[in-house]
Chain A
Amino acid sequence: GDSVTQMEGPVTLSEEAFLTINCTYTATGYPSLFWYVQYPGEGLQLLLKATKADDKGSNKGFEATYRKETTSFHLEKGSVQVSDSAVYFCARGNNFNKFYFGSGTKLNVKP
């Protein structure tokens, strides 16, 4: 069935390290793909999205590319900051339809 799988956390990095959080999906059809971020005690904020194959979503130094051939949408950032510490959720969805979320990956960035 339709699902989203992302790497388990927590991921602990030092400031300025390179970040990758893996995400793969299964789906019928061609969903849009999203990364959401949840800071402690807060709601879901859209970080970036991609709506079709080979699209690259980017925001605040984060990037993810929609790879249809590997059904992946890995999140990357070249140099993380302490303020990036949060839980990151990969999600897939289609217009006017429910979203499927991954289980979330907690990122801890140490100074």
Chain B
Amino acid sequence: EPEVTQTPSHQVTQMGQEVILRCVPISNHLYFYWYRQILGQKVEFLVSFYNNEISEKSEIFDDQFSVERPDGSNFTLKIRSTKLEDSAMYFCASELYGYTFGSGTRLTVV
């Protein structure tokens, strides 16, 4: 069964550093999403992406965040200057006729 692949599975970074979280969506999917889950809390929507542009973003998705689909296969989430409160599990999802979530990247900001 096709999968959404996320790398790395766990990343530790220093506060103030830039991080890029990578996702490889399912190849024929058209819609892409990032979600965030702070430890022990609910899964929250960050951003949706379609036709090479952001279609919707949440209040969480401020100027520190950006997304890109640089080569037609990868879908990346960049956090420019990480803060302690960015520590969370980040899930990528892609969709054609139904969502598929990746297994997540656990980001720890120290």
Contact = CB atoms under 8 A, between A and B. Distances in A.
A5 to B, nearest CB: 11
Contact of B41 (A36, A46, A103): A103
Interface stretch (A66-74, A76-84, A88-96): A88-96
Contacts of A99: 33, 35, 43, 45, 93, 99
B25 interface: no
Contacts of A89: 42-43
A91 B58 CA distance: 17
Nearest to A98: B45
A44 interface: yes
B42 A43 contact: no
B31 A44 contact: no
A89 B31 CA distance: 22
A77 B47 CA distance: 34
Interface size class of B (residues with CB under 8 A): 20 to 34
Nearest to A45: B101
Nearest to A49: B98
B53 to A, nearest CB: 14
Interface residues on A, range: 10 to 19
Contacts of A97: 48
A63 to B, nearest CB: 19
Contact of B56 (A45, A98, A100, A103): A98
Nearest to B31: A96
Given A43-B104, A44-B91, A98 B42 contact: no
24 contacts: A36-B101, A42-B103, A43-B102, A43-B104, A44-B43, A44-B91, A44-B101, A44-B104, A45-B101, A46-B99, A91-B43, A93-B99, A95-B95, A95-B97, A98-B45, A98-B48, A98-B56, A99-B45, A99-B93, A99-B99, A101-B42, A102-B42, A103-B41, A104-B41
Interface of A: 36, 42-46, 89, 91, 93, 95-104
